[in-house]
Structure 1
Amino acid sequence: MDTTATPDHPSVSVTAPQTLRVIKRNGDVVPFDGGKIAVALSKAFIAVEGDNAATSSRVRDFVQRASESIEQAFQRRMPDGGTLHIEDIQDQVELALMRAGEQKVARAYVLYREEHARARAESGADITKPHPTLNVTAPDGSTRPLDLGRVETLVFDACENLPHVEPGKIVEDSLKNLYDGVTVDGVSQALMMTARTLVEKDPNYTYVTARLLQDNLRREALSFLGIADEATYQEMADYYKPAFQAYIARGIEFEQLDPRLAEFDLERLGDALDHTRDAQFTYLGLQTLYDRYFIHRDEVRYELPQVMFMRVAMGLALNEDDREARAIEFYELLSSFDYMASTPTLFNAGTVRSQLSSCYLTTVPDDLDSIYSAIRDNALLSKWAGGLGNDWTPVRALGSYIKGTNGKSQGVVPFLKVVNDTAVAVNQGGKRKGAVCAYLETWHLDIEEFLELRKNTGDDRRRTHDMNTANWVPDLFMKRVFDDGEWTLFSPATCPDLHDLYGAAFEKRYEEYEEMTRTGQLKLFKRVRAKDLWRRMLSMLFETGHPWITFKDPCNLRSPQQHAGVVHSSNLCTEITLNTSVDEVAVCNLGSINLAQHVVNGEFDSDKLKRTVRTAVRMLDNVIDINYYAVPQAERSNFKHRPVGLGIMGFQDALYALDIAYASDEAVTFADRSMEQVSYHAIEASSDLAAERGRYESYEGSLWSQGVLPIDSIEKLKTERGEKYIEVDTSTTQDWDRIREKIAAQGMRNSNVMAIAPTATISNICGVSQSIEPTYQNLFVKSNLSGEFTVVNAYMVNDLKERGLWDEVMINDLKYYDGSVKAIDRVPDDLKAKYATAFEVEPKWLVEAAARRQKWIDQAQSLNLYIQGVSGKKLDVTYRMAWFRGLKTTYYLRALGATSVEKSTVDRGNLNAVSNASPSAAPAPGPESSPQAQEPRGVDDFLQGKSGSGSRAPSAGEMDELGCEACQ
């Protein structure tokens, strides 16, 4: 590549990529010249600071850095080359000045642009070349005149039934970015780029952009299938059916689809496809499907959105008696976004390798052969995109005696390093690195070293930077923390039965072992102050994001399957609580109800929810029989117990639709009552399936068989833990006696029915908030492998519009305050409360709402905790409260730190990418990456309430990059 020195700064050299071209205002296309960016920046400084700016080292250094950064941004955006409009480059110059805090220079530059725009308008210089003379280059190299009529049809179709959008403006602005000889894809890109820059003006433009993207999808798939070269939205009413039929034939021919799909009545299913549902996607949702879900051959996606949903529906209906009727029923649920299956199900249903399950839980025995067998199982399960939870508590601790070699054990940690590297090596079928979480009980002698696995300092051979870790905490430990007592660490080699004990039985045996240390019967142990270990747990959680804190006793004491084994850990996302053993790998199949779709005309629609839940439970139960199992222990376990995990997403959207603030008693009540109804209908649906298909094999002896429902099991937890240490609301509104009677007569089809997963990816597909999460930011840019996506809170925009407050000033204020309305004076207090972002919601509200949900759930929930101004005291109070309120698990801690959304230009309003950090959404070290910065203070200082700078929250654009899509 050539380098070009700027006239004002001869020493500044900027790379000029020959593959990038610039569209000037008169329509001419010229090569990109990076040196002109430096010139523009230099002139802007000279205009404000005078001629001295030309020789200022500060200005020279800034100009060089900014010029290189702007050019690199364009190279990232278009790695294979492409065209930019001159306005895009000027937007980036403006942005660089504002990001650097050069407000005076930026303002002068904005005024300069406005002045010249007016001058051009008055002189007519902005008039481009006559567009009727533009030609478009087809993929085969031929050219034809640009069909302006079709462009207008596409844009007006994309804007249909969407208020506050201007199709004429999209057409006009897009034509400015076209040039003679532009490719067909170039025309589409110009239309989408124009529409997406307007998303911050009005959220409806995200639907416009998605609908314009549909044109690309249709052209790619229809031409590959031999149906048509291209099609408009309206034409798809006729094209979807033949495209679907051709797709089934080609997919089977390519050995990608299950040949049994051809046995369905494809005419009937084709007639059921609803092309209008393509119009409900957001841009982020559709692009996510295109990039990561649609089936492709030789990099050509030949699967369309409604075809994908029907393929999944067919895959789940393979064993149904009336397959077509059930497939249509399942399709209706998925394509309406009322319910969405988890990512593995969307990936693989109806394919030749139908690995549809989300989570796998294993227990690792204490012998070398079994340890490496467990690691092998991890690799096989990870290969097919399963998320893994490993229970490592049985493995003997450092210093334990090894009979076979007459030596001493190196403990758990060296094996976890192997697990970590295996997860990296086996990358979920090429989609992303494997995802594993290791669990260890708090009494294990290796617990202190386990806490430090994610640190960036120390011996790297004893660090696991790529896997997750979690504490499996007994109630007795928490009691000792509350009572400031001692805590004794043991090796499972000498205290093996502690692993399988919980509740009062654990306490009794644990205290017996403690007595044995005093009499000299046990030699290998360590005594610590419980509060000191708790402090280290919280300190490591803050500094590294790990280990997560999960609670052993409520998971077991409230488990319906206590008679059949022990829950030894949760899963990768902390929502699954199933028994594991040497012989059984626990498996769970997930899907999520979209609560936002069940708020109709400002009211929660209970009848619709019932219909959705019943169909969803049937779909989940079908997964068990259709699923591909990578290891035999998983197949045995799943067929014996048949657990499923029905969860929710769009909780925050539902609150918006009901006009309820997240931080309120009303939100806590809604969390309680909505989950009660989900629980009520899900349990009944499973019981009705038992009447139709038979009870699950291990039903007898379960809590279900004893008439004990999830809401009833709280009493057992209270009894075993002690009333002093728990406070849980147990109010109800449904007729639960009726459900108990039905179960007594019919039994249950599934040992477990509910679990709330994170849903980060599938909620993007549906265009709603993740899981039970509060809104992270009201306006931000999500930056991931699919590109950059402006996301704006449509509910907030509509409320502000109703009060006459949505304008350019408000947009810029939101950018300045990173999507928060809290500091914007003219926003009324009621809207500030309603649109409070995650860190503006006190964590007590998150815990209270989660506690109300937990009483209805037979498994657990992925509960992220957001803490602003984090301190040791705040963490201590929050996590003690989580245990005291009866929660089973917690997930990521998100501590407010340095996160930045790049500010947009004042006039054109292009939001740009958030800065990317680690792909993990766990709090990572802050901007200073040195070991000293990551450990800025001691544990004592931390727990005494002193905030540190060693942790940061993920940016809004990183929120769905949790390392695994299995639960999402």
Structure 2
Amino acid sequence: MDTSISPGKASVDITAPQRLRVIKRGGEVAAFDGSKISVAITKAFIATEGDNAAASSRIREFVSEATQSIVDTFLRRMPDGGTLHIEDIQDQVELALMRAGEQKVARAYVLYREEHARARQPQGADIAKPHPSLNVTQADGTVRPLDLGRVETLVADACEGLANVEPQKIVDASLKNLYDGVPIDGVATALMMTARTLVEKEPNYTYATARLLQDNLRREALSFLGIADEATYQEMATLYAPAFKAYIDKGIEFEQLDERLREFDLDRLGAALDHTRDNQFTYLGLQTLYDRYFLHHDDVRYELPQVMFMRVAMGLALNEDDPEARAIEFYELLSSFDYMASTPTLFNAGTQRSQLSSCYLTTVPDQLDGIYSAIRDNALLSKWAGGLGNDWTPVRALGSYIKGTNGKSQGVVPFLKVVNDTAVAVNQGGKRKGAVCAYLETWHLDVEEFLELRKNTGDDRRRTHDMNTANWVPDLFMKRVFDDEEWTLFSPSTCPDLHDLYGAAFEKRYAEYEEMTRNGQLKLFKRVKAKDLWRKMLSMLFETGHPWITFKDPCNLRSPQNHAGVVHSSNLCTEITLNTSADEIAVCNLGSVNLAQHIVDGQLDGDKLKKTVKTAVRMLDNVIDINYYAVPQARNSNFKHRPVGLGLMGFQDALYQLGIAYASDDAVTFADTSMELISYHAIEASSDLATERGRYQSFEGSLWSKGVLPIDSIAKLAEERGADYIEVDTSTTQDWARLRDKVTRQGMRNSNVMAIAPTATISNICGVTQSIEPTYQNLFVKSNLSGEFTVVNAYMVNDLKARGLWDEVMINDLKYYDGSVQPIDRIPDDLKARYASAFEVEPKWLVEAAARRQKWIDQAQSLNLYIAGVSGKKLDVTYRMAWFRGLKTTYYLRALGATSVEKSTVDRGKLNAVGNTGGSASPQPAAAPSPSPSPAASDAGGEARGIDDFLTGKSGSGSRAPSAGDIDELGCEACQ
């Protein structure tokens, strides 16, 4: 209707009843103003009789009388004042017109109301229904009735399209937890808390909870940006674009965003934002973004999910020829969850300090100034959210001669204490704990003390409770273990070249040094039985979770860059294998393909995977040029070699979609073929980028330049190690001859292309299982920095529902058995196999699947090993098998004692009470030890107690047993 003409005020006093208030549709409360009734009736006449109606004395008199009549009606109803809803007033206007015989005008008024109702409906507007007894306190302190209509609309929107989710159940239960005067945020919190308690019964409630959380996010961000006080999901279809532009302006004003973002066509990018993708989040995923990723100012988050993904995409497209087109391409990949960048990239892309890289590897020299310079570099890199891997092998051992002072060295350990305390002090820009891993080769004379760094007993000045440690193990040592031979420990001050040697060259030189100990040329050494040292390594791994076991020779013999230097260590999460030296700090940029998103119609969609990988490699390559480098050695190395690390996550989800059990030959085959496709497309994408942008500087002489791809380098490892010490499947399915030819002709843009990182945090964001991990438990409470979240295996629930097995009894059984389906008799065997949890999958399957992936990967993979009923024999066999199958590295050991604790919580109404209460049923991870022993090591009995007999002959102290939910939150998130 035409709203340009306003009539004069009616002649009667219709503004007098100030004691009346009106609730508008948005929930705001305003003073009653009868003149607005006059305006509405006059507009209805104008709509039917034309503009002259406003001047008609008959109509003006009717408007005045009708308005007074309506006002009198309300005064009779509420003589002492009260609150009306806008819809009540409009109903009275319609009734007055009908009573007066003005049917034509009344019809126009009805059509006017319906038209505006339809206009509001797509944006989620609804008729407000004031709650009869509950009021809500607004942020500014004002009080108004709880708008029950908006609550119902909000919950209905949150549940739309979700099977087996009941909106009214959330509303009714939430109202019971509200009180008169509750803050506006408290209403949203009550809705979320109610919805999340239902997750254990129906997994889809996690999406409903996330959508309810969205309402809080929108209110906080949109009001801060000056766009709207609040908005529904539907309204975001039109509000995302203006919010995005306002966000860019605010971010630049606050000196948080890169000013170059303003140079983009913001209208084009804003139009590309897809508000429907907000509905993909689980509650855990969205809460994680809110707590740790969204930009904030004065503790107000003013970044919304799709805005964040576009900000990251813009940050990665800054140097592109068509930055808008590329930003939209990158945004599509991120916001669809087909691929996710690593945490540092999500944190910092598009900001004024774009430190986007995940991890840094350094070699520490054997001079005092060099050692403290390396510690300083650690601090600077950690400040900007980098995970650190330090190679400490060059530093001379305890008792070594110091020429400058004519004294003797205190060895590596005292310096590692300083490194530990630095990591605590510099906590990644205040966002997360600093994290570093120290590597030491197994021949180093300080290795035995190095193994004990994480123990709770002994001199605390020679303990590092807050940092990670890892063994850098040569093949020769493993051969000596297999053959039950002696092993000699040296100081690098007298055997410096061992640090840079590997394979047959290392074995030859090592034997020469051993001969020198026999003829008296070398005085500082120690001879031990290889098996005894191996037992101590495994004993400390079980007892303290450290040091991890990683293998030097496969990392070097299969490195594409073995012409340009030596891989001296891995990184914080053991998936990066890059060269380091005094002049080069290796840098790696990570991101992960979500494998679950590429299962289409029951099979892996190769075309979609190819498209994802091609764009992902481009994004990773862009990081190198855009990245902020805290130290010059990192910049020099990254620009010279340009390594990236494309990995994967959601492997277990993909198996569920395919109906494959993790502990099966089919799963091993899928691990092989899926990684082969990723490898094939990633190598080709990098080669194509070389044509477009040029080869990386050190390409000539690399394995790539010789046509040796990762699958081909296995032969070199077998040749130098010896065929009796390796067994690796080398079958292929793709046309690798074509790709070899292409790579030798075109070159490569990146020295390294693949690495499988842990992805604990970004997989939470995407709502899939992390990395290559099996499901930890089918029902548990996940604890991390964002709080506690019920996690239930939706695939399992759906399969149980399909067979009529999902009920309260099943839920309580799963709680009682810590999420395990194995002890529940009525679950069929095929589902027991499919839903075996991490500790129910024999470790051989983890190793076999990892070995099949490793043949395609030019770097390594973060491989956690889960071992139930842990014994010395199991540890020995598992880690020997990992080496024998050609793996480059292993990561955390998760060991579970042989006995179970008494179960708690069946159904006592306690929120999310799922996990066990402690004891040997909890895993023994690589984590900071607790002050008291864990029952898994000291009281497990039976096979678990046998580990002490095998490894040390004495009782072990065990490692900290975390709750079920923090299993993947123990390390730094730089790679995740």
In structure 1, C-alpha distance between the alignment counterparts of 2:684 and 2:404, rounded to whole Å: 53
Q: Are the counterparts in 2 of residues 200 and 909 from structure 1 also a CA contact under 8 Å?
A: no
Q: CA deviation at 1:130?
A: 10
Q: State yes or no: 1:959 paired with 2:967.
A: yes
In structure 2, C-alpha distance between the alignment counterparts of 1:925 and 1:515, rounded to whole Å: 40
* 1:56-455 mapped onto 2 (5 Å cutoff): 131-455=131-455
In structure 2, C-alpha distance between the alignment counterparts of 1:924 and 1:413, rounded to whole Å: 17
Instruction: Provide, for residues 499-542 of structure 1, a one-character-per-residue CA deviation record: whole Å limited to 9, x for no partner.
Output: 00000000000000001111111111110000000000000000
Q: Where do 5+ consecutive residues of structure 2 fail to align?
A: 1-128
Higher deviation after alignment, 783-792 or 396-405: 783-792
User: Which residue in 2 is equivalent to 1:62?
Assistant: none
- SS of match in other structure, 1:810: helix
In structure 1, C-alpha distance between the alignment counterparts of 2:936 and 2:963, rounded to whole Å: 23
Q: Are the counterparts in 2 of residues 920 and 962 from structure 1 also a CA contact under 8 Å?
A: no
In structure 1, C-alpha distance between the alignment counterparts of 2:130 and 2:308, rounded to whole Å: 42
User: Which residue in 2 is equivalent to 1:684?
Assistant: 684
Q: Which amino acid aligns with 1:911?
A: N
Q: Are the counterparts in 2 of residues 285 and 765 from structure 1 also a CA contact under 8 Å?
A: yes
Q: Are the counterparts in 1 of residues 542 and 924 from structure 2 also a CA contact under 8 Å?
A: no
* 1:466-545 mapped onto 2 (5 Å cutoff): 466-545=466-545
Instruction: Provide, for residues 721-763 of structure 1, a one-character-per-residue CA deviation record: whole Å limited to 9, x for no partner.
Output: 0000000000000000111111121100000000000000000
Q: CA deviation at 1:940?
A: 6.1
Q: 1:899 to 1:967 in 2, by over 3 A?
A: farther
In structure 2, C-alpha distance between the alignment counterparts of 1:916 and 1:764, rounded to whole Å: 24
Q: CA deviation at 1:929?
A: 3.4
Q: CA deviation at 1:243?
A: 0.3
Q: 1:237 to 1:501 in 2, by over 3 A?
A: same
- SS of match in other structure, 2:360: strand
In structure 2, C-alpha distance between the alignment counterparts of 1:523 and 1:708, rounded to whole Å: 43
Q: Are the counterparts in 1 of residues 585 and 633 from structure 2 also a CA contact under 8 Å?
A: yes
* 1:599-618 mapped onto 2 (5 Å cutoff): 599-618=599-618
In structure 2, C-alpha distance between the alignment counterparts of 1:935 and 1:543, rounded to whole Å: 13
In structure 2, C-alpha distance between the alignment counterparts of 1:377 and 1:887, rounded to whole Å: 30
- SS of match in other structure, 2:287: helix
Q: CA deviation at 1:955?
A: 2.9
User: Which residue in 2 is equivalent to 1:906?
Assistant: 907
In structure 2, C-alpha distance between the alignment counterparts of 1:849 and 1:923, rounded to whole Å: 25
Q: Which amino acid aligns with 2:574?
A: T
In structure 2, C-alpha distance between the alignment counterparts of 1:657 and 1:775, rounded to whole Å: 14
Q: State yes or no: 1:950 paired with 2:975.
A: no
Q: CA deviation at 1:942?
A: 3.4
In structure 2, C-alpha distance between the alignment counterparts of 1:693 and 1:857, rounded to whole Å: 23
Q: Are the counterparts in 1 of residues 365 and 371 from structure 2 also a CA contact under 8 Å?
A: yes
Q: Are the counterparts in 1 of residues 394 and 499 from structure 2 also a CA contact under 8 Å?
A: yes
- SS of match in other structure, 1:146: strand
Q: CA deviation at 1:943?
A: 3.1
User: Which residue in 2 is equivalent to 1:929?
Assistant: 933
Q: Which amino acid aligns with 1:392?
A: W
User: Which residue in 1 is equivalent to 2:815?
Assistant: 815
Q: Are the counterparts in 2 of residues 650 and 769 from structure 1 also a CA contact under 8 Å?
A: yes
In structure 2, C-alpha distance between the alignment counterparts of 1:902 and 1:241, rounded to whole Å: 51
Higher deviation after alignment, 556-565 or 188-197: 188-197
Q: 1:560 to 1:138 in 2, by over 3 A?
A: same
Q: Are the counterparts in 2 of residues 699 and 751 from structure 1 also a CA contact under 8 Å?
A: yes
Q: 1:901 to 1:349 in 2, by over 3 A?
A: farther
Q: Which amino acid aligns with 2:162?
A: L
Q: 1:708 to 1:130 in 2, by over 3 A?
A: closer
Q: CA deviation at 1:916?
A: 9.8
- SS of match in other structure, 1:543: helix
In structure 1, C-alpha distance between the alignment counterparts of 2:340 and 2:474, rounded to whole Å: 35
Instruction: Provide, for residues 571-626 of structure 1, a one-character-per-residue CA deviation record: whole Å limited to 9, x for no partner.
Output: 00000000000000000000000000000121111100000000000000000000
User: Which residue in 2 is equivalent to 1:670?
Assistant: 670
State the Cα RMSD in Å: 2.1
Q: Are the counterparts in 2 of residues 895 and 923 from structure 1 also a CA contact under 8 Å?
A: no
Higher deviation after alignment, 595-604 or 690-699: 595-604
Q: Which amino acid aligns with 1:881?
A: M
Instruction: Provide, for residues 116-175 of structure 1, a one-character-per-residue CA deviation record: whole Å limited to 9, x for no partner.
Output: xxxxxxxxxxxxx99423211101111111111111110000001100000111111111
Higher deviation after alignment, 785-794 or 683-692: 785-794
Q: Which amino acid aligns with 2:180?
A: D
User: Which residue in 2 is equivalent to 1:941?
Assistant: 949
Q: Are the counterparts in 2 of residues 435 and 572 from structure 1 also a CA contact under 8 Å?
A: yes
Q: Which amino acid aligns with 2:340?
A: M
- SS of match in other structure, 2:742: helix
Q: Which amino acid aligns with 1:906?
A: D
Q: Are the counterparts in 1 of residues 925 and 960 from structure 2 also a CA contact under 8 Å?
A: no
User: Which residue in 2 is equivalent to 1:715?
Assistant: 715
Q: State yes or no: 1:564 paired with 2:554.
A: no
In structure 2, C-alpha distance between the alignment counterparts of 1:920 and 1:316, rounded to whole Å: 39
TM-score (norm 2): 0.84
- SS of match in other structure, 2:563: helix
Q: CA deviation at 1:186?
A: 1.1
In structure 2, C-alpha distance between the alignment counterparts of 1:446 and 1:434, rounded to whole Å: 25
Q: CA deviation at 1:426?
A: 0.6
- SS of match in other structure, 1:781: strand
Q: Which amino acid aligns with 1:137?
A: T
Q: State yes or no: 1:792 paired with 2:792.
A: yes
In structure 2, C-alpha distance between the alignment counterparts of 1:293 and 1:828, rounded to whole Å: 42
In structure 1, C-alpha distance between the alignment counterparts of 2:523 and 2:764, rounded to whole Å: 54
Q: CA deviation at 1:948?
A: 6.2
Q: 1:601 to 1:909 in 2, by over 3 A?
A: farther
Higher deviation after alignment, 675-684 or 929-938: 929-938
In structure 2, C-alpha distance between the alignment counterparts of 1:395 and 1:805, rounded to whole Å: 61
Q: 1:181 to 1:529 in 2, by over 3 A?
A: same
TM-score (norm 1): 0.85
User: Which residue in 2 is equivalent to 1:100?
Assistant: none
Q: Which amino acid aligns with 1:628?
A: Y
Q: 1:939 to 1:664 in 2, by over 3 A?
A: closer
Q: Are the counterparts in 1 of residues 924 and 961 from structure 2 also a CA contact under 8 Å?
A: no
In structure 2, C-alpha distance between the alignment counterparts of 1:420 and 1:924, rounded to whole Å: 12
* 1:550-949 mapped onto 2 (5 Å cutoff): 550-897=550-897, 903-904=904-905, 906=907, 908=909, 910-912=911-913, 921-922=925-926, 928-929=932-933, 941-943=949-951
Q: Which amino acid aligns with 2:822?
A: K
In structure 2, C-alpha distance between the alignment counterparts of 1:188 and 1:302, rounded to whole Å: 18
Instruction: Provide, for residues 841-897 of structure 1, a one-character-per-residue CA deviation record: whole Å limited to 9, x for no partner.
Output: 000000000000000000000000000010111000000000000000000000014
In structure 1, C-alpha distance between the alignment counterparts of 2:660 and 2:958, rounded to whole Å: 35
- SS of match in other structure, 1:362: strand
- SS of match in other structure, 1:134: strand
In structure 1, C-alpha distance between the alignment counterparts of 2:148 and 2:903, rounded to whole Å: 35
In structure 2, C-alpha distance between the alignment counterparts of 1:721 and 1:630, rounded to whole Å: 39
Q: CA deviation at 1:920?
A: 10
Q: Are the counterparts in 1 of residues 895 and 923 from structure 2 also a CA contact under 8 Å?
A: no
Q: Which amino acid aligns with 2:488?
A: T
Q: Are the counterparts in 2 of residues 543 and 934 from structure 1 also a CA contact under 8 Å?
A: no
Q: Which amino acid aligns with 2:968?
A: D
Instruction: Provide, for residues 803-840 of structure 1, a one-character-per-residue CA deviation record: whole Å limited to 9, x for no partner.
Output: 00000000000000000000000000000000000000
In structure 1, C-alpha distance between the alignment counterparts of 2:935 and 2:651, rounded to whole Å: 39
Q: Which amino acid aligns with 1:637?
A: S
Q: 1:267 to 1:771 in 2, by over 3 A?
A: same
Corresponding pairs, count = 840
In structure 2, C-alpha distance between the alignment counterparts of 1:931 and 1:914, rounded to whole Å: 17
- SS of match in other structure, 2:132: helix
Q: Which amino acid aligns with 2:461?
A: R
Q: Are the counterparts in 1 of residues 864 and 891 from structure 2 also a CA contact under 8 Å?
A: yes
- SS of match in other structure, 1:965: coil
Q: 1:267 to 1:208 in 2, by over 3 A?
A: same
